[in-house]
Structure 1
Amino acid sequence: MHTVFRVGAIKQMDNEHQLYQIELELTSDDDQQLRSLTDRIREEAHGTGWQRLTKLLIKIGQFNKAEELYNVLLEQTSDEGENALYYNQLGTVKHGQGDYEKAIWYYEKALEIRQRTLSSNHPSLATSYNNIGLVYHKMGEHSKALSYYEKTLEIEQKALPSKHPDLATSYNNIGSVYDNMGEYSKALSYYEKTLEIFEKTLPSNHPDLATSYNNIGSVYNNMGEYTKALSSHEKALEIKQKTLPSNHPDLATSYNNIGSVYDHMGEYSKALSYYEKALEIQQKALPSNHPDLATSYNNIGSVYHKMGEHSKELSYYEKTLEIFEKTLPSNHPDLATSYNNIGSVYNNMGEYTKALSSHEKALEIKQKTLPSNHPDLATSYNNIGSVYDNMGEYSKALSFYEQAFEIRQKTLPSNHPDLATSYNNIGNVYNNMGEYSKTLSYYEKSLEIRQETLPSNHPDLATSYNNIGIMYYNVKDYSKAVSYYERALDILQRALPPTHPNIKSVKENIEIVKKKS
C-alpha cells in the first residue's frame, strides 16, 4: 500500500490566496478503520484497471471523462458480458448528465444481453431493472419505476443475504417512489429498512448512509416534522463533506435539502444561503440544462416569493421552466410545479388571467400523472382557488379550496401546516362573503395548527393574526383587531426584510383601525 495519511485538521492561513495548513497523521498497516475502508473500496471498484478507473470517475461526478473511456472499452471487446457492463455504465453516465432517453437506451441494451445470457434470478439482471427504474423515476413515471424496482427486489430477496447493501438500495428506491406519490408512511417504512441495513454493513462515513439520512429527512420535511428533518439532513451533509470533492453534485443536494427545511420553517435568509451554495456547485459541475439546476433556480425563486421580491422570483422561475421544457416529458410533475410557481407570481402581481392559465396547465399535468388524492393536486386546487378569490369570484374560490382541503384531510397528519393553509384560505372566502362566524372558526383552526407546528416568528403565524384582525375589524371590534394586527407586525418585523410589502400592509391596517377607534 502507498503511504496514506489521516487528515487531522484544516486551518485557513491566508484569506487572499486561499492558503490552508493541513495536519496529517501517518496511518499504519494495522489501522482497522483504514483496512475497512480499503476493503470496501476494493469491493465496490472490482474489475480491470480501466473498469475501476471509469467507475471511480462516475463516483466523483466526472461523467464526460467516464463516457470517453467506456466508449473506448466498448470498441475493444466482443465479450457479451463486458458489453453488457459497458452499456450499463454508459447508461449511468447519461443518467448523471440528465440525458434520460439515452440512459434508458443504454440500460435496455445491457438488459437485453443479460436476459439472453444469464439466469432469471441473476443479480446483474436486478441491476439492470433497478437502473431502468431509476431513470423512469427521474422522468416522473412512477408506476413504471415502481414496477422495475419491484422486479429488482424480487430477484435480490431470492439471491442475496437479508442485509446485503443492494437490498437496501431497492428498499430505498421503492421508498422514494412512495415519497413522490405522497404516501409518506410507506416511504418512511422503506427508508428505515434501508438505513437499518446500511448502519449494519457500511463504514460510518459511507456516501450511501448519507443518502439514507437525506431521504428520511425529506419525508419528515414533507410530513411537517422539521426538527427531525433538519437533524437527518445535517447527518447526511456531515458525511458528504468528509467523503466527496467540494464541487460534487451530491453536496448540492444536501444544501438544497437543508435549505428546504429552513424555507418551511420561515427562516428565509438561511434557506437562501443554502440554496445558493447548491446552485454554485451545480453551475460548476453540471450541464447548463440539467434538471437539478432547474430545481435550484426554482428553490431560490420560492424564497424570493416569500420575501416579496417578485421580479427576482419570476426571473428564477422562468429559468426553471426553460430547462424543464427542454429536458422533461410534457406531462412531468416538475413542469407542473414550474407552471404553478409562475402562476403564483402573476397572482401576486395582480395579473389574474395569466395566473389562472399557468395554474390550469399545472393542474392538467397533475391530473394525468398523480393519484387523485396526492397532496400536490391539493396545492393546484388551492392555487386556482386563490386566483378566483382575488378576482372576487368567491363561490368558485370556495369550491377549489374545499377540494384542496378534502385531499389534505385524507393524506396529511391532522396538524400539518398545509391543513392550516386550507383552513386559512376557506376562512378568507367566508370573510369576503361577510359570513364572519364561519370566518373566525376557520381562522382559529388555522392558527391552532400553526401555533403547534411552526416557530414563533414564522410569517404564516403573522398571516393568521393579521387575518383574524381583519375579521374583527369587519365586525367593528377595533380593540381586538389592533391587538391581532400588532402580533402580526411583531412577527413580520423579526422575520422579513423591512421593505417587505406584508409589513407595509399590516402597518396600514393598524393605522386604519386607530382612526376608527
Structure 2
Amino acid sequence: MKARSNAMKTNCKRVWCLHGYRSQLLPMSELEQLQKNQNELITMNSFLSATIQFKVAELYSTPIDQLDATSTLQSVYFIIDVYNLSREMTPFALIENHACNPDESEVLFSIGAIFKVKSIESHNNIWYIYLELSKEQNKLGQNWLDHMLEQFKSEPGPLAFGWFLFRMNQFDKVERYAKWMIQQLPSNDIAIGDAHNLLGLIYKDRNKLDRSIQSYDKALDIYSHLGYQNSCRAIAVHCNLGLAHLALDDWRSAEDQHTQAEEKFTLLPTNYPLLKSHVDRLKAKLMENSGYAEEALKKLEKVLENRRKTLDPNHPSIGTTLNDIGSVYDKTDNHIKALEYFQQALDIGKKSLTSDHLEFVDYYMNVGRMYHKFGRFKLAYEQFELAQKVLLEYDRNEEEKIAQLHTLMTEMTIKMH
C-alpha cells in the first residue's frame, strides 16, 4: 500500500493531482462486481465522501480480526487518484472548512463523477481498490450531464450512469441498468419515470418505436401520479413522444404531444432555453412534415442559436440541429446548403460521439446522398460504406436501411466505372 502511494506521489510531480482515501465495509457481491469491471469506468449514484489523509481513513476501518475471507462483508479501502483536471471540470470539493470535523480533511465527490477501476488488491483480509478520476474521463461525464439538463432540466440522480451509457452508445447496458433501477427504486421515486424516459430514448434509437411510445407513456403516467405532470421532465417526454409518433408518420399524435408540451411550458415560472429548444424542434419537425419549409428553417435556426449560446460548441445536440436544418434544405432541393449543414453535423459528431454511435448512420448517409447528387460517386460510396459499417454492428430492425445502403453502394460502384 505504501509503495503504491509513493509511486502515485511521484507521478503527481508531473501533473496536478490529489489523492482521496475512503474505508468502508462492502458486500462481497459488490466487491465481485467491481473485480469484473477492472479497467472499466464506473460512477456513483450518490455523493462519495473521502479524506485526503490515509490515517483518517484508517480510523473508520473495521478491525481485521473481525473479518475473514468468508465474510459476507469485506473491509475495503478506496484509493482515488485524481489528476489532470481543469478548473472548469472538478467533480469534487475540499470541504474541510465546512465539515463538522475540519481535522478529517474531507473531500466530497459529486454524483456522477466518472472513475476508472485501475486495480483491486487484497492484503491481510483488506481489499485495496484503486480508482482513477481524470479530465479525460469526466469530459465524457459532462456529455451525459449536458444531455440530462437538455432533456428535463434536472440535476444528476440515480439514473446518472444510465445517461452516461446512453451517450456512449451502450444501449444493451442502458436497458439492463434502467430496468434494474426501476426494480430497486421506491415506488414513489420520480426517477422511475426518468428510467422509462431513458428506455423510450434507446428504443427509438433502436427503431423499436412501439416500445418507445409505451415507455414514454409510462413515464408520463408516473409523473402525473406523483404530481409532476406539468414539470420540465413531463414537457421533455411529451417532446420525445411526439418525435416517436412522427417517426411512425402519426403526425396527429405528434401534434397533440407538441400542444401539451407548449401549453405546459408556458406555465413554468422560469424560462428554460434548452427545454424551449426541445419544444421548438418538435414544432419545426411538424412544420417540415406539413410542407412549411421556410417556417421550419426559421424555427430550427432559432433552436441552433439557443443551443450554441448554452452548450459546448461541439455538443451532440448542436450536431442534431445542424442535421435537421440540412434535411429541410434537402427537401427544398437546395443541395449545396444541405451538404454544408450535413457536413457540419458530421464534423461535430466526430468530436463528440463514439465512432460507432448510431447517429453516424444518418450523418454518413446524408452526406453520401449529397455527394451522389453532385456526381461525386467515389465520395458517396465511402460515406455509404461507413454508414453500413456502423449499422451492421447492431442488432436493429433495420433490414430495409441495410438493403438500401447495399443498393446505393452497388449503384455508386457501377457509376464509378
TM-score normalised by L of structure 1: 0.53
Match of 1:497 among 392, 395, 416: 395
Give me the whole-angstrom Cα distance separating, in 1, the residues matched to 2:137 and 2:336.
35
Task: Look up the SS of the partner of 1:369 in the other structure.
Answer: coil
CA RMSD of aligned residues (A): 3.7
For residues 91-240 of structure 1, the aligned pairs below 5 Å read 195-197=93-95, 201=99, 212-214=109-111, 227-228=137-138
Q: Indicate if the aligned counterparts of 2:206 and 2:397 stay in contact, CA closer than 8 A.
A: no
Structure 1 pair 339–312 and aligned structure 2 pair: CA distance change class (3 A): same
Q: Indicate if the aligned counterparts of 2:182 and 2:195 stay in contact, CA closer than 8 A.
A: yes
Give me the whole-angstrom Cα distance separating, in 2, the residues matched to 1:373 and 1:6.
41
Q: Indicate if the aligned counterparts of 2:329 and 2:337 stay in contact, CA closer than 8 A.
A: yes
Measured after TM superposition, the shift of residue 449 of structure 1 is 1.1
Q: Are residue 10 (structure 1) and residue 58 (structure 2) matched?
A: no
Q: Are residue 304 (structure 1) and residue 165 (structure 2) matched?
A: no
Structure 1 pair 472–390 and aligned structure 2 pair: CA distance change class (3 A): farther
Measured after TM superposition, the shift of residue 480 of structure 1 is 2.4
Give me the whole-angstrom Cα distance separating, in 2, the residues matched to 1:460 and 1:422.
12
Measured after TM superposition, the shift of residue 422 of structure 1 is 1.3
Q: Match for residue 39 of structure 2? A: none
Match of 1:387 among 286, 294, 303: 286
Structure 1 pair 360–507 and aligned structure 2 pair: CA distance change class (3 A): farther
Measured after TM superposition, the shift of residue 503 of structure 1 is 3.7
Question: Can you list the C-alpha shifts for 1:361-419, whole angstroms capped at 9, x where unaligned?
Answer: 21332344275562121122112222332343312321221121110121112111111
Structure 1 pair 200–348 and aligned structure 2 pair: CA distance change class (3 A): same
Where does structure 1 lack aligned partners over 5 or more consecutive residues?
A: 13-30, 39-187, 218-224, 234-251
Q: Match for residue 447 of structure 1? A: 346
Q: Which has the higher helix share?
A: 1
Give me the whole-angstrom Cα distance separating, in 1, the residues matched to 2:383 and 2:269.
39
Q: Match for residue 319 of structure 1? A: 218
The alignment covers a number of residue pairs equal to 311
Q: Which amino acid aligns with 1:424?
A: N
Q: Which amino acid aligns with 2:111?
A: N
Structure 1 pair 442–202 and aligned structure 2 pair: CA distance change class (3 A): farther
Q: Match for residue 438 of structure 1? A: 337
Q: Match for residue 424 of structure 1? A: 323
Where does structure 2 lack aligned partners over 5 or more consecutive residues?
A: 1-22, 31-54, 63-86, 115-134, 144-155
For residues 331-342 of structure 1, the aligned pairs below 5 Å read 331-342=230-241
Q: Which amino acid aligns with 1:429?
A: V
Q: Match for residue 151 of structure 2? A: none
Q: Match for residue 163 of structure 2? A: 260
Q: Which amino acid aligns with 2:372?
A: Y
Measured after TM superposition, the shift of residue 516 of structure 1 is 6.2
Q: Which amino acid aligns with 1:298?
A: N
For residues 327-406 of structure 1, the aligned pairs below 5 Å read 327-369=226-268, 372=271, 374-406=273-305
Task: Look up the SS of the partner of 1:195 in the other structure.
Answer: strand
The percentage of counterpart residues that share the same residue type is 19
Computing the radius of gyration from Cα coordinates, the structure with the larger value is 1
Q: Match for residue 458 of structure 1? A: 357
Measured after TM superposition, the shift of residue 263 of structure 1 is 0.7
TM-score normalised by L of structure 2: 0.64
Q: Which has the higher strand share?
A: 2
Q: Match for residue 470 of structure 1? A: 369
Q: Match for residue 76 of structure 2? A: none
Greater relative contact order (CA < 8 Å, ≥ 6 in sequence): 2
